[in-house]
Structure 1
Amino acid sequence: MNLLELITQPFEYGFMVRAIVATLLAAVLCAVLSCWLVLTGWSLLGDAVSHAVLPGVVLAYALGWPFAVGASIFGVLAVAMIGGVRATSRVKEDAAIGIVFTTLFALGLVLVSVTPSQVDLNHIIFGNLLGVSPEDLVQVVGLVAVCLAVLLFKRKDLTLFAFDPGHARTIGLSPRLLGSILLGVLALTCVVALQAVGVVLVVAMLVVPGATARLLSQSMSRMLWIAPSVSVIGSLVGLYLSYYLDISSGGSVVLCQGSIFALVYLVAPREGLVWRMIARRGPRQQPLEADAPEKTAV
């Protein structure tokens, strides 16, 4: 089998075409959003929302609703509960996040175990990329279009909010509103990524591309190009590996993205571990001519 056949063979199957399209859409959206999550320090919140939507997805299946509806409701509910616990008690934010998302995730696991369904609801947890239906793909396309439109339209305001919320407030912007927009997009993005990698691995797609781009550039505009590129490359390589090696597609995608991050972490210019070690050691100093010992006259 030559290289061209290796590349084109997966496209002979409809399920693989849908899987590739869904993965690339999820990869681009998660990567773009991850730039702001990394800058605002909301990576843990992304983990919380991605797990908290599980009961909403299960209830949506049970009621015959689009699963995006249930997931969005519980994503917003999780954010509201975290904010409520933090504002009305002495519990700190990280503890509030841990309490809310583990409780809602546990509720989702219980609902999965007792809800009769023709669909294997365990696929929500671990992903079912190769089982994406045409209807699911239409839903993913719609959600990605809405989320990307919001992020790109508000990108300047969101970037200012991420770097300096105080300055954003002084020029008339509402940090609370911008934070709510970011959290709303986060909830919808989790719904999209559920199709690709499942609840457990969504956080990797929401954090790894942005963190990788952060190591490669300090410019937000460049990060918004680097992160999707990294995510798309890792996703494509992961999909091809899962197809030819018969391994988990979601796990393979995340593993490839993590491998790219590890490589950048080691060798990125100026920020890479190897380069920083070389810079600390520096060139060995040559002795000055005046410091050289004088030859003894014979």
Structure 2
Amino acid sequence: MPGPPGRPAGPPARRRAEPRPSAIKDLLNGVGYLLRGIGWTARHPAQWAFGLIPALIVLAAYAAALVTLAFYLDDLAGWVTPFADGWSDAARASARVIAGIAIYGASVFLAVLTFTAVTLLVGDPFYEAIAVRVEESQGGAPPDPDVPLLVQIGHAIKDTAVLGIVAVLFAVVFFAAGFLPLIGQTVVPVVAAMVSGYFLAGELTSIALERRGLRRRERFARLKADRPLVVGFGAATFVVFLIPLGAVFAMPGAVAGATLLARERLADDPLGTAGHAGTAGQG
């Protein structure tokens, strides 16, 4: 018996895939948010100078720690390479140079990753004020969260402690990977920059996202959903922070850029969408 009229039977038509945003484009857009944040502080020099104060305080403490580490680096390199004691002089010296580079590199990685968290904790009133000014320049800031101050401080300390633990774990992994020939000196630093950038972005966007009632788990869910964009912003910030004094001078701009990123791409409230559509490029 003939089948119903219509198209001849055949394999089902393949559904056209929905276009997906380019990961490379999102990475570059993430870098653009950092540049926009720096541009915002350049147009508001008083806010930039205001944001330098806590960064300078934390920088002094971190610099003292890294200088002290440098004095004891040879001893530490020997302590972590006891297996090289019986090697020839050249082989033992090479192993301990690599160990020293890995120790100091892991320490710098840990410092860069935690610098933002500690600076945000110390300078919370400073960067909260900058974030509000950025939001107001783009159409309006959300109201202050209805959370007691002591509770907010407790959340901030807890988040900083969690980030510190994660940073230590990654620092240990990258320290061990630094011993791998060639890979440890090429691939590992790139991966470290991307991982560090992801967590830096999480810390920097926390100010704007917490004002919208999002806690750490919810914030990182938003970051994961826009990972290439977030990594682009965070990795660019990480690289700038590696420049001598870059973490100090770029910190206010990084906070401003993170606020724009959170407002326009990570938040789901009207200020994060309609505000961008109506006021993009202002400020």
Please give the TM-score of this superposition, normalised by the length of structure 1: 0.28
Which has the higher relative contact order, 1 or 2, with Cα contacts under 8 A spaced 6 or more apart?
2
Please give the TM-score of this superposition, normalised by the length of structure 2: 0.29
Higher share in helix: 1
